[in-house]
Amino acid sequence: MSAIKKVVLAYSGGLDTSIILQWLQDVYHCEVVTFTADIGQGEEVAPARAKAEAMGVKEIYIEDLREEYARDYVFPMFRANTIYEGEYLLGTSIARPLIAKRLVEIAKQTNADAISHGATGKGNDQVRFELGAYALNPGIKVIAPWREWDLTSREKLMAYAEQRNIPVDFKKKGKKSPYSMDANLLHISYEGGILEDPWSEPEEDMWRWTVSPEAAPDQATYIELTFSKGDITAIDGKSMSPAEVMTYLNDVAGKNGIGRDDIVENRYVGMKSRGAYETPAGTVMLKAHRAMESLTLDREVMHLKDELMPRYASLIYNGYWWSPERQMLQTMIDASQQYVNGVVRLKLYKGNVVVVGRQSKTDSLFDESIATFEEDAGAYNQKDAEGFIKLNALRLRIAGKKRLK
């Protein structure tokens, strides 16, 4: 262990990572560099600096990564309409590649020997952090304390913190937190506590970003989202950056009771896990993007994207953002978005996102003269359908004749 002289720690300032900071110093006798990322978790990250300084840290990195996160990770993912196992919008998963990238970059900048994280040995995040780190720096050393130490319960962690006078706000509250939570611009997740029983309904006071649909306004909210090459670039005609788009949608959708989900998912490490999620902006973005594509994408391109999306979603969920296969798929997905331009109008009402209009003045493939139920002036010859049907029925008719013998 003496070979490790300096470690870069992904540090939130909370209970677990504060204990990890001290544990690294105690066990590895090394210098620790802390890295705290603001990716829109909605909480102050500045206090992490004071906590790190109080624990003797000399090199402290606190970075606002909200725009990079939204622009380079969330938006590219939503171009694919990505959803894992039919429900999960991957709010935790998509944040990990960025954190892994900065850990590796800071390790290089500070001549550190290793990086460290607070993910447990039961979860997906250890895989995501480490696959990303190894992809970007194959020789990097990773220290995962949860796989090494014997602090296997909340009580042991608290005792360790008390013994070493670790400044943890959690201690001052004098009570056990009922949930393990993770938040960023895309979502906030809740695990543990009563959620470990899949039959138990989440308590209403657990939710932080959304009102219940029952308590949402009785008046619907209408918004118009402008798309350029598959990305939202304006809301109600006002240009916004990716992070601004997500911040605005989190607020307006949350007020309308949109974005709650309760899921039992299959973790990459093999177990099933129950979690509750709030993803207001993501829920709106997915609905709107699909509506924009419905107007502007060729049928077979859309269907091919839909076929590939579950594989793309699994790559992100399982931590393969930096893999060559994900990058290959991303190239294809981005190419499909060239003509995904226009405006989608939505109605937000009591937990529902309803598409009420879509238009693209330059790239719409909807031809009213052909689709109309009224007189089409010869734009479409209905007699052509007879040959089309017979050709497509040929193999069915041949097989049918054989079976009737």
| Two structure tokens written together for 227 | 């798309």
Annotated catalytic residue within 180, 294, 323, 364: 180
What pLDDT, on the 0 to 100 scale, is given for residue 169? 60
Which residue in the list 38, 113, 125, 231 is annotated as catalytic?
A: 125
> pLDDT tens digits, residue range 90-120?
999 999 999 999 999 999 999 999 999 999 9
pLDDT at 381 over 60: yes
Residue 376 has pLDDT above 60, yes or no: yes
Concerning whether 241 is annotated as a catalytic residue, the answer is no
pLDDT at 86: 96
Q: Cβ of 162: how many Cβ atoms within 10 Å?
A: 11
Residue 169 designated active-site: no
Catalytic, 96? Answer yes
pLDDT-based confidence at 163, cuts 50/70/90? very high
User: Which pLDDT value is given to residue 89?
Assistant: 98
DSSP 3-state of 64: strand
What per-residue confidence (pLDDT) applies to 401?
Answer: 92
pLDDT of residue 168: 60
Residue 166 in 3-state DSSP? Answer: coil
147 catalytic per annotation: no
Q: What is 239-279 written as a DSSP string?
A: E--HHHHHHHHHHHHHHTT--EEEEEEE-TTS-EEEEEEE-
What CA–CA distances, in Å, run from 79 to 224, 235, 289, 290, 331?
A: 18, 17, 7, 9, 11
Query: What CATH number belongs to 6-177?
Result: 3.40.50.620
Helices (H), 164-203: 169-173
Tell me how far apart the alpha carbons of residues 180 and 392 are, in angstroms, rounded to a whole number: 54
Mean pLDDT of 368-373: 86
Q: How many CA atoms lie within 13 A of 282 on its CB side?
A: 30
- Residue closest to 22 by CA, chosen among 161, 118, 115: 161
List the domain boundaries for the chain.
Answer: 6-177, 183-297+339-359
CATH for 183-297+339-359, options being 3.30.420.40, 3.30.460.20, 1.10.760.10, 3.90.1260.10? 3.90.1260.10
> Which one is catalytic: 12, 79, 93, 96?
96
Amino acid 172: pLDDT:
45
CA–CA distances in Å: residue 13 to residues 29, 36, 80, 361: 20, 8, 34, 50
Separation of alpha carbons 403 and 397, rounded Å = 10
Neighbouring CB atoms inside 10 A of 322's CB total: 17
What does the pLDDT look like over 113-140, one tens digit per residue?
Answer: 999 999 999 999 999 999 999 999 999 9
Does position 317 have pLDDT exceeding 70, yes or no?
yes
